Chains A and B, each alone.
Chain A
Amino acid sequence: MRDGKARYLLLFVAAMAAAFSLGAFRNTMGDAESVHYSLNFPARGYAAGGEGAMGKSGHVIVNLANTGFIKALLQPNEVNLSSHWVKNVGDKTRRIRLEAEGVQYPLKWASIDTSWDERTLTLQRPLKPGDSVTIDWDLTLPRPLPAADIIVDARIVVYDADTGERLTAMPIRVVNSAAAAVKAGDCCAE
Protein backbone atom coordinates (compact mmCIF):
# COMPACT_ATOMS: atom_id res chain seq x y z
CA MET A 1 0.00 0.00 0.00
CA ARG A 2 2.77 2.37 0.99
CA ASP A 3 4.67 1.50 -2.21
CA GLY A 4 1.56 2.24 -4.22
CA LYS A 5 1.20 5.68 -2.65
CA ALA A 6 4.88 6.44 -3.14
CA ARG A 7 4.58 5.46 -6.80
CA TYR A 8 1.55 7.71 -7.21
CA LEU A 9 3.43 10.58 -5.60
CA LEU A 10 6.48 9.99 -7.75
CA LEU A 11 4.41 9.97 -10.94
CA PHE A 12 2.57 13.09 -9.81
CA VAL A 13 5.82 14.94 -9.23
CA ALA A 14 7.31 13.64 -12.49
CA ALA A 15 4.30 14.92 -14.43
CA MET A 16 4.59 18.29 -12.68
CA ALA A 17 8.24 18.43 -13.64
CA ALA A 18 7.29 17.63 -17.24
CA ALA A 19 4.98 20.66 -17.26
CA PHE A 20 7.76 22.85 -15.87
CA SER A 21 10.15 21.48 -18.48
CA LEU A 22 7.78 22.47 -21.26
CA GLY A 23 7.75 25.96 -19.78
CA ALA A 24 11.54 25.99 -19.65
CA PHE A 25 11.69 24.88 -23.29
CA ARG A 26 9.28 27.68 -24.17
CA ASN A 27 11.50 30.13 -22.28
CA THR A 28 14.50 29.31 -24.45
CA MET A 29 12.73 30.98 -27.40
CA GLY A 30 10.77 33.50 -25.37
CA ASP A 31 12.05 36.59 -27.15
CA ALA A 32 12.11 35.06 -30.62
CA GLU A 33 8.82 33.30 -31.35
CA SER A 34 5.30 34.62 -30.85
CA VAL A 35 6.52 37.63 -28.93
CA HIS A 36 3.75 39.46 -27.12
CA TYR A 37 3.47 43.13 -26.32
CA SER A 38 1.11 45.38 -24.40
CA LEU A 39 0.56 48.89 -25.58
CA ASN A 40 -1.31 51.53 -23.60
CA PHE A 41 -2.39 54.89 -24.96
CA PRO A 42 -2.26 57.78 -24.52
CA ALA A 43 1.34 57.64 -23.23
CA ARG A 44 1.69 58.22 -19.52
CA GLY A 45 5.37 57.77 -18.98
CA TYR A 46 7.08 54.46 -18.53
CA ALA A 47 4.30 52.49 -16.87
CA ALA A 48 1.91 53.23 -19.69
CA GLY A 49 4.11 51.87 -22.42
CA GLY A 50 4.82 55.32 -23.71
CA GLU A 51 7.66 56.44 -25.90
CA GLY A 52 10.98 55.31 -24.53
CA ALA A 53 9.38 53.04 -21.98
CA MET A 54 11.24 49.84 -21.20
CA GLY A 55 10.07 46.49 -20.01
CA LYS A 56 7.19 44.24 -20.93
CA SER A 57 4.86 47.11 -21.58
CA GLY A 58 6.42 49.59 -23.91
CA HIS A 59 9.44 48.06 -25.59
CA VAL A 60 9.83 44.92 -27.63
CA ILE A 61 12.99 43.14 -28.66
CA VAL A 62 12.83 40.09 -30.88
CA ASN A 63 16.09 38.16 -30.80
CA LEU A 64 16.26 35.82 -33.78
CA ALA A 65 19.23 33.98 -32.28
CA ASN A 66 16.81 32.30 -29.86
CA THR A 67 14.47 30.94 -32.53
CA GLY A 68 13.44 27.37 -31.78
CA PHE A 69 14.96 24.60 -33.85
CA ILE A 70 11.82 23.76 -35.80
CA LYS A 71 11.04 27.33 -36.77
CA ALA A 72 14.70 27.98 -37.53
CA LEU A 73 14.52 25.08 -39.96
CA LEU A 74 11.17 25.82 -41.58
CA GLN A 75 10.52 29.53 -41.35
CA PRO A 76 13.35 31.54 -39.82
CA ASN A 77 12.45 34.77 -41.59
CA GLU A 78 8.84 35.19 -40.39
CA VAL A 79 8.52 37.32 -37.27
CA ASN A 80 5.20 37.36 -35.46
CA LEU A 81 4.37 39.93 -32.86
CA SER A 82 1.06 39.52 -31.03
CA SER A 83 -0.52 42.01 -28.71
CA HIS A 84 -1.87 41.14 -25.33
CA TRP A 85 -3.74 44.37 -25.85
CA VAL A 86 -3.68 47.86 -27.28
CA LYS A 87 -5.58 49.62 -24.55
CA ASN A 88 -7.15 53.02 -24.03
CA VAL A 89 -5.96 54.07 -20.56
CA GLY A 90 -7.07 57.67 -21.05
CA ASP A 91 -10.35 59.30 -20.16
CA LYS A 92 -11.55 60.04 -23.70
CA THR A 93 -13.22 57.70 -26.15
CA ARG A 94 -11.06 57.50 -29.28
CA ARG A 95 -10.82 55.86 -32.68
CA ILE A 96 -7.25 54.89 -33.31
CA ARG A 97 -5.03 54.60 -36.34
CA LEU A 98 -1.71 52.76 -36.25
CA GLU A 99 1.41 53.29 -38.23
CA ALA A 100 4.77 51.53 -38.46
CA GLU A 101 7.85 53.72 -38.64
CA GLY A 102 11.21 52.43 -39.80
CA VAL A 103 10.13 49.05 -41.21
CA GLN A 104 11.88 48.34 -44.47
CA TYR A 105 10.51 44.81 -45.00
CA PRO A 106 7.01 43.51 -45.90
CA LEU A 107 4.72 43.89 -42.90
CA LYS A 108 1.20 42.55 -42.49
CA TRP A 109 -1.12 43.84 -39.79
CA ALA A 110 -3.93 41.67 -38.48
CA SER A 111 -6.64 41.96 -35.90
CA ILE A 112 -9.53 39.77 -34.92
CA ASP A 113 -11.59 42.89 -34.32
CA THR A 114 -14.32 43.13 -36.95
CA SER A 115 -13.97 46.91 -37.20
CA TRP A 116 -10.25 46.83 -38.06
CA ASP A 117 -9.63 48.28 -41.49
CA GLU A 118 -6.41 46.75 -42.76
CA ARG A 119 -6.21 49.18 -45.69
CA THR A 120 -6.13 52.33 -43.57
CA LEU A 121 -4.77 50.64 -40.39
CA THR A 122 -7.66 52.18 -38.52
CA LEU A 123 -9.98 50.73 -35.92
CA GLN A 124 -13.35 51.98 -37.05
CA ARG A 125 -15.12 51.48 -33.75
CA PRO A 126 -14.28 53.92 -30.97
CA LEU A 127 -12.47 52.54 -27.95
CA LYS A 128 -13.96 53.75 -24.68
CA PRO A 129 -11.64 54.33 -21.70
CA GLY A 130 -10.56 50.89 -20.50
CA ASP A 131 -11.42 49.18 -23.80
CA SER A 132 -8.75 47.32 -25.73
CA VAL A 133 -8.12 45.61 -29.02
CA THR A 134 -5.57 43.05 -30.18
CA ILE A 135 -3.41 43.83 -33.19
CA ASP A 136 -0.71 41.55 -34.55
CA TRP A 137 2.30 42.06 -36.79
CA ASP A 138 3.62 39.57 -39.30
CA LEU A 139 6.97 40.72 -40.61
CA THR A 140 8.70 38.92 -43.46
CA LEU A 141 12.46 39.27 -43.44
CA PRO A 142 14.67 38.35 -46.40
CA ARG A 143 16.20 34.89 -46.63
CA PRO A 144 18.96 34.37 -45.75
CA LEU A 145 18.62 36.64 -42.78
CA PRO A 146 20.62 39.87 -42.98
CA ALA A 147 23.97 39.50 -41.24
CA ALA A 148 23.46 42.43 -38.90
CA ASP A 149 23.09 42.88 -35.16
CA ILE A 150 20.02 45.06 -35.56
CA ILE A 151 17.83 43.94 -38.44
CA VAL A 152 14.82 46.13 -37.79
CA ASP A 153 14.71 49.25 -35.63
CA ALA A 154 11.13 50.40 -35.82
CA ARG A 155 8.20 51.63 -33.79
CA ILE A 156 4.46 51.21 -33.71
CA VAL A 157 2.80 54.59 -33.46
CA VAL A 158 -0.77 55.08 -32.27
CA TYR A 159 -2.66 58.12 -33.54
CA ASP A 160 -6.11 59.47 -32.82
CA ALA A 161 -7.79 58.72 -36.14
CA ASP A 162 -10.04 61.76 -35.93
CA THR A 163 -7.67 64.48 -34.71
CA GLY A 164 -4.35 63.06 -35.90
CA GLU A 165 -2.91 63.46 -32.39
CA ARG A 166 0.06 61.16 -31.72
CA LEU A 167 -0.95 59.15 -28.67
CA THR A 168 2.02 56.88 -28.07
CA ALA A 169 4.79 54.95 -29.76
CA MET A 170 6.39 51.63 -28.95
CA PRO A 171 9.94 50.80 -30.08
CA ILE A 172 10.41 47.41 -31.71
CA ARG A 173 13.79 45.96 -32.45
CA VAL A 174 14.47 42.74 -34.32
CA VAL A 175 18.03 41.76 -33.48
CA ASN A 176 20.29 38.80 -34.01
CA SER A 177 22.68 38.39 -31.11
CA ALA A 178 24.31 35.48 -32.94
CA ALA A 179 25.39 37.89 -35.65
CA ALA A 180 26.87 40.09 -32.95
CA ALA A 181 28.75 37.11 -31.54
CA VAL A 182 30.11 36.23 -34.97
CA LYS A 183 31.20 39.80 -35.42
CA ALA A 184 32.85 39.82 -32.02
CA GLY A 185 34.64 36.62 -32.96
CA ASP A 186 35.83 38.19 -36.21
CA CYS A 187 37.01 41.21 -34.36
CA CYS A 188 38.92 39.21 -31.76
CA ALA A 189 40.42 36.88 -34.34
CA GLU A 190 41.78 39.86 -36.14
Chain B
Amino acid sequence: MPSRATPLTRNRLARAGLFFVGVALFYAPFALAYRAFGAIFPGTYAANSVVDVHTACMRMPVGWLAQPWMYSSFTTNALYFVSILVLPLAAVAFSPLFCGWLCPAGAFPEFASRLIPDRFKFDLHGRVPIVPLRYGFFAGLLLAPFVTTSICCSYCNFTQMQNIVSFVTGNTAPLLFIGTTGVVTMVVWLVVLGLFMKGGRGWCMLLCPVGALTSLASGLTSRFKRLPRVRHDTEACASCATCQDVCPVRAIDAGEEGDVRVGQYLCNGCMDCVKACPSGALRYGSER
Protein backbone atom coordinates (compact mmCIF):
# COMPACT_ATOMS: atom_id res chain seq x y z
CA MET B 1 0.00 0.00 0.00
CA PRO B 2 1.56 3.31 -1.04
CA SER B 3 2.32 5.86 1.67
CA ARG B 4 -0.21 8.69 1.87
CA ALA B 5 2.27 11.06 3.45
CA THR B 6 3.31 13.89 1.17
CA PRO B 7 6.99 14.52 0.48
CA LEU B 8 6.73 17.58 2.74
CA THR B 9 5.32 15.52 5.61
CA ARG B 10 8.03 12.88 5.13
CA ASN B 11 10.66 15.63 5.14
CA ARG B 12 9.29 17.06 8.37
CA LEU B 13 9.13 13.62 9.96
CA ALA B 14 12.76 13.05 8.99
CA ARG B 15 13.71 16.38 10.54
CA ALA B 16 11.71 15.54 13.65
CA GLY B 17 13.65 12.29 13.89
CA LEU B 18 16.91 14.17 13.60
CA PHE B 19 15.73 16.49 16.36
CA PHE B 20 15.99 13.50 18.71
CA VAL B 21 19.36 12.60 17.21
CA GLY B 22 20.50 16.17 17.93
CA VAL B 23 19.30 15.87 21.53
CA ALA B 24 21.17 12.58 21.89
CA LEU B 25 24.34 14.03 20.39
CA PHE B 26 24.57 17.37 22.17
CA TYR B 27 22.37 17.46 25.28
CA ALA B 28 22.84 15.90 28.72
CA PRO B 29 22.21 13.32 30.01
CA PHE B 30 23.24 11.86 26.63
CA ALA B 31 25.67 14.26 24.88
CA LEU B 32 27.05 11.33 22.90
CA ALA B 33 29.10 13.52 20.55
CA TYR B 34 31.04 15.03 23.44
CA ARG B 35 31.42 11.70 25.23
CA ALA B 36 32.87 10.27 22.04
CA PHE B 37 35.20 13.27 21.67
CA GLY B 38 36.35 12.88 25.27
CA ALA B 39 36.92 9.16 24.79
CA ILE B 40 38.98 9.72 21.65
CA PHE B 41 40.94 12.63 23.12
CA PRO B 42 41.64 11.94 26.80
CA GLY B 43 42.80 14.89 28.87
CA THR B 44 40.67 17.36 26.97
CA TYR B 45 37.94 19.50 28.49
CA ALA B 46 35.27 17.10 27.20
CA ALA B 47 37.07 14.15 28.79
CA ASN B 48 37.31 15.81 32.22
CA SER B 49 33.83 17.30 32.30
CA VAL B 50 30.32 16.22 33.03
CA VAL B 51 29.21 16.79 29.46
CA ASP B 52 26.18 18.76 28.38
CA VAL B 53 25.35 21.29 25.69
CA HIS B 54 27.88 23.74 27.19
CA THR B 55 30.79 21.38 26.64
CA ALA B 56 31.03 22.82 23.16
CA CYS B 57 29.43 26.18 23.86
CA MET B 58 28.45 27.56 20.48
CA ARG B 59 27.53 31.12 21.41
CA MET B 60 30.52 32.35 23.39
CA PRO B 61 33.11 31.50 20.71
CA VAL B 62 31.10 33.51 18.19
CA GLY B 63 31.05 36.43 20.63
CA TRP B 64 34.80 36.13 21.18
CA LEU B 65 35.45 36.75 17.50
CA ALA B 66 35.25 40.49 18.20
CA GLN B 67 37.32 40.26 21.39
CA PRO B 68 40.96 39.48 20.58
CA TRP B 69 41.88 39.26 24.27
CA MET B 70 39.61 36.19 24.48
CA TYR B 71 41.39 34.27 21.71
CA SER B 72 43.47 32.37 24.26
CA SER B 73 40.22 30.76 25.42
CA PHE B 74 40.11 28.83 22.16
CA THR B 75 43.16 26.90 23.28
CA THR B 76 41.35 25.56 26.35
CA ASN B 77 38.78 23.54 24.42
CA ALA B 78 39.06 22.40 20.81
CA LEU B 79 35.27 22.09 20.66
CA TYR B 80 35.01 25.88 20.71
CA PHE B 81 35.95 25.73 17.04
CA VAL B 82 32.71 23.94 16.17
CA SER B 83 30.59 27.08 15.89
CA ILE B 84 33.21 29.41 14.43
CA LEU B 85 34.88 27.03 11.99
CA VAL B 86 33.24 23.64 11.53
CA LEU B 87 29.65 24.84 11.08
CA PRO B 88 30.49 27.81 8.81
CA LEU B 89 32.72 25.62 6.63
CA ALA B 90 30.04 22.96 6.47
CA ALA B 91 27.57 25.70 5.52
CA VAL B 92 29.84 26.83 2.70
CA ALA B 93 30.04 23.27 1.42
CA PHE B 94 26.43 22.22 1.90
CA SER B 95 24.36 25.24 3.16
CA PRO B 96 23.45 25.54 6.87
CA LEU B 97 22.14 22.01 7.23
CA PHE B 98 22.98 21.90 10.95
CA CYS B 99 20.41 24.61 11.60
CA GLY B 100 17.69 23.02 9.52
CA TRP B 101 18.26 19.41 10.44
CA LEU B 102 20.20 18.87 13.63
CA CYS B 103 19.83 21.82 16.00
CA PRO B 104 17.26 20.87 18.68
CA ALA B 105 17.08 24.44 20.01
CA GLY B 106 15.85 25.56 16.59
CA ALA B 107 13.63 22.58 15.86
CA PHE B 108 11.81 22.46 19.21
CA PRO B 109 9.94 25.77 18.91
CA GLU B 110 9.35 25.11 15.20
CA PHE B 111 7.61 21.79 15.81
CA ALA B 112 5.87 23.06 18.95
CA SER B 113 4.49 25.99 16.95
CA ARG B 114 2.63 23.58 14.69
CA LEU B 115 0.25 23.03 17.60
CA ILE B 116 -0.93 26.64 17.29
CA PRO B 117 -3.19 27.59 14.38
CA ASP B 118 -1.59 30.05 11.94
CA ARG B 119 -4.29 32.64 12.55
CA PHE B 120 -2.87 33.25 16.01
CA LYS B 121 0.65 33.77 14.71
CA PHE B 122 2.63 36.79 13.67
CA ASP B 123 4.40 36.64 10.31
CA LEU B 124 7.32 38.96 9.73
CA HIS B 125 7.50 38.05 6.05
CA GLY B 126 6.26 40.81 3.81
CA ARG B 127 6.03 43.30 6.66
CA VAL B 128 9.66 43.98 7.33
CA PRO B 129 12.95 42.84 5.75
CA ILE B 130 14.35 40.14 8.02
CA VAL B 131 17.96 40.16 6.79
CA PRO B 132 18.97 43.57 8.21
CA LEU B 133 17.29 42.71 11.52
CA ARG B 134 19.15 39.42 11.70
CA TYR B 135 22.58 40.77 10.87
CA GLY B 136 22.05 44.01 12.78
CA PHE B 137 21.39 41.97 15.91
CA PHE B 138 24.38 39.78 15.10
CA ALA B 139 26.61 42.87 14.81
CA GLY B 140 25.10 44.16 18.05
CA LEU B 141 25.88 40.88 19.81
CA LEU B 142 29.50 41.12 18.67
CA LEU B 143 29.83 44.74 19.76
CA ALA B 144 27.75 44.56 22.96
CA PRO B 145 30.78 43.86 25.21
CA PHE B 146 32.20 47.23 24.13
CA VAL B 147 28.95 49.16 24.55
CA THR B 148 27.09 47.50 27.44
CA THR B 149 27.97 43.88 28.24
CA SER B 150 28.17 40.51 26.53
CA ILE B 151 24.79 38.92 25.91
CA CYS B 152 26.03 35.49 24.84
CA CYS B 153 25.45 33.68 28.14
CA SER B 154 22.62 35.67 29.68
CA TYR B 155 20.26 35.11 26.77
CA CYS B 156 21.19 31.57 25.75
CA ASN B 157 18.45 29.48 24.20
CA PHE B 158 20.75 26.44 24.16
CA THR B 159 20.79 26.60 27.97
CA GLN B 160 17.00 26.75 28.03
CA MET B 161 16.81 23.76 25.69
CA GLN B 162 19.22 21.91 27.98
CA ASN B 163 16.99 22.78 30.94
CA ILE B 164 13.99 21.32 29.13
CA VAL B 165 15.85 18.14 28.18
CA SER B 166 17.17 17.80 31.74
CA PHE B 167 13.73 18.27 33.20
CA VAL B 168 12.10 15.82 30.79
CA THR B 169 14.75 13.20 31.61
CA GLY B 170 14.13 13.54 35.34
CA ASN B 171 16.72 16.10 36.44
CA THR B 172 15.06 18.95 38.33
CA ALA B 173 18.33 20.77 39.05
CA PRO B 174 17.58 23.51 36.47
CA LEU B 175 14.69 24.62 38.67
CA LEU B 176 17.02 25.22 41.61
CA PHE B 177 18.23 28.48 40.19
CA ILE B 178 15.94 30.73 38.20
CA GLY B 179 17.47 33.82 36.60
CA THR B 180 15.64 36.83 35.20
CA THR B 181 17.38 36.77 31.82
CA GLY B 182 16.87 33.00 31.64
CA VAL B 183 13.13 33.38 32.04
CA VAL B 184 13.10 36.23 29.51
CA THR B 185 15.00 34.02 27.06
CA MET B 186 12.65 31.09 27.56
CA VAL B 187 9.58 33.25 26.96
CA VAL B 188 10.99 35.02 23.90
CA TRP B 189 12.59 31.92 22.33
CA LEU B 190 9.79 29.46 22.94
CA VAL B 191 6.62 31.53 23.16
CA VAL B 192 6.92 34.89 21.41
CA LEU B 193 9.28 33.95 18.59
CA GLY B 194 8.35 30.26 18.65
CA LEU B 195 4.79 29.25 19.33
CA PHE B 196 3.31 32.52 18.11
CA MET B 197 5.50 33.23 15.10
CA LYS B 198 4.80 31.81 11.67
CA GLY B 199 7.34 29.04 11.08
CA GLY B 200 8.27 28.90 14.78
CA ARG B 201 11.85 29.88 14.02
CA GLY B 202 11.81 33.53 15.03
CA TRP B 203 14.78 33.11 17.37
CA CYS B 204 16.80 31.41 14.60
CA MET B 205 15.86 34.14 12.13
CA LEU B 206 16.54 37.11 14.34
CA LEU B 207 18.60 36.38 17.43
CA CYS B 208 20.79 33.30 17.01
CA PRO B 209 24.47 34.21 16.43
CA VAL B 210 25.36 30.66 15.40
CA GLY B 211 22.63 30.66 12.77
CA ALA B 212 23.63 34.13 11.59
CA LEU B 213 27.30 33.18 11.22
CA THR B 214 26.60 29.93 9.36
CA SER B 215 24.02 31.58 7.12
CA LEU B 216 26.45 34.41 6.44
CA ALA B 217 29.05 31.88 5.31
CA SER B 218 26.46 30.12 3.18
CA GLY B 219 25.02 33.32 1.73
CA LEU B 220 28.35 34.87 0.83
CA THR B 221 29.36 31.77 -1.11
CA SER B 222 26.00 31.04 -2.70
CA ARG B 223 27.05 32.83 -5.90
CA PHE B 224 29.48 30.01 -6.58
CA LYS B 225 27.29 27.90 -8.80
CA ARG B 226 28.92 24.58 -8.08
CA LEU B 227 28.10 24.77 -4.37
CA PRO B 228 24.86 23.05 -3.39
CA ARG B 229 22.14 25.38 -2.23
CA VAL B 230 18.36 25.50 -2.54
CA ARG B 231 18.00 26.75 -6.14
CA HIS B 232 14.99 27.85 -8.11
CA ASP B 233 14.12 27.25 -11.75
CA THR B 234 11.93 30.09 -12.99
CA GLU B 235 10.73 28.27 -16.09
CA ALA B 236 9.42 25.31 -14.15
CA CYS B 237 7.72 27.44 -11.50
CA ALA B 238 3.92 27.38 -11.24
CA SER B 239 3.87 30.59 -9.14
CA CYS B 240 1.78 28.91 -6.47
CA ALA B 241 3.81 30.44 -3.57
CA THR B 242 3.60 27.18 -1.62
CA CYS B 243 7.33 27.44 -0.95
CA GLN B 244 6.91 30.84 0.66
CA ASP B 245 4.16 29.53 2.90
CA VAL B 246 5.99 26.45 4.19
CA CYS B 247 9.42 28.03 4.75
CA PRO B 248 10.01 28.04 8.55
CA VAL B 249 12.59 30.83 8.39
CA ARG B 250 10.56 32.98 5.97
CA ALA B 251 13.45 33.03 3.50
CA ILE B 252 11.44 32.84 0.29
CA ASP B 253 9.85 35.70 -1.62
CA ALA B 254 7.40 34.40 -4.20
CA GLY B 255 6.34 37.01 -6.75
CA GLU B 256 4.40 36.84 -9.97
CA GLU B 257 5.27 34.64 -12.96
CA GLY B 258 7.82 32.43 -11.34
CA ASP B 259 9.77 35.25 -9.76
CA VAL B 260 10.84 33.34 -6.66
CA ARG B 261 13.84 34.41 -4.61
CA VAL B 262 15.43 32.14 -2.07
CA GLY B 263 17.07 34.31 0.59
CA GLN B 264 20.42 32.57 0.96
CA TYR B 265 21.27 34.73 4.00
CA LEU B 266 18.26 33.27 5.80
CA CYS B 267 17.83 29.78 4.34
CA ASN B 268 18.68 26.96 6.79
CA GLY B 269 18.59 24.17 4.22
CA CYS B 270 15.63 22.36 5.76
CA MET B 271 14.28 21.47 2.26
CA ASP B 272 10.63 21.91 3.23
CA CYS B 273 10.22 24.19 0.20
CA VAL B 274 11.89 21.67 -2.12
CA LYS B 275 9.60 18.88 -0.96
CA ALA B 276 6.48 21.07 -1.00
CA CYS B 277 7.01 22.45 -4.52
CA PRO B 278 4.38 20.79 -6.77
CA SER B 279 6.20 21.60 -10.01
CA GLY B 280 9.74 20.65 -9.01
CA ALA B 281 10.97 24.20 -9.56
CA LEU B 282 12.93 24.16 -6.31
CA ARG B 283 15.73 21.72 -5.75
CA TYR B 284 18.83 21.34 -3.63
CA GLY B 285 22.02 21.20 -5.63
CA SER B 286 24.41 23.09 -7.90
CA GLU B 287 23.19 25.70 -10.35
CA ARG B 288 22.39 24.15 -13.72
A interface residues with partner B (beta carbon < 8 Å): 7-9, 11-27, 29-30, 33-34, 67-72, 74-75, 78, 80, 112-115, 125, 132, 138
Is B69 part of the binding interface, using a Cβ–Cβ cutoff of 8 Å?
A: no
Pair B154/A26 contact, Cβ less than 8 Å? yes
Given A26-B148, A78-B176, check contact A15 B134 (CB 8 Å). Answer: yes
Pair B136/A26 contact, Cβ less than 8 Å? no
Neighbouring A residues of B149 by C-beta, 8 Å: 23-24, 26-27, 30
B interface residues with partner A (beta carbon < 8 Å): 48-50, 52, 54, 76, 128-129, 131-137, 139-141, 143-145, 147-151, 153-155, 176-181, 183-184, 206
With contacts A70-B179, A115-B48 known, what are 4 further pairs, Cβ within 8 A? A16-B140, A70-B183, A71-B183, A75-B178
Neighbouring B residues of A18 by C-beta, 8 Å: 136-137, 140
Distance of A114 from chain B, by nearest CB (Å): 6
Pair B49/A15 contact, Cβ less than 8 Å? no
Neighbouring A residues of B54 by C-beta, 8 Å: 112
Pair B132/A23 contact, Cβ less than 8 Å? no
Contact with B155, one of A15, A22, A115 (Cβ below 8 angstroms): A22
**Main SS of chain B's interface residues?**
helix
Pair A19/B144 contact, Cβ less than 8 Å? yes
Distance, CA A54 to CA B145, complexed state (A): 22
Distance of A10 from chain B, by nearest CB (Å): 8
Distance, CA A24 to CA B148, complexed state (A): 5
Neighbouring B residues of A113 by C-beta, 8 Å: 48-50
Pair B135/A23 contact, Cβ less than 8 Å? no
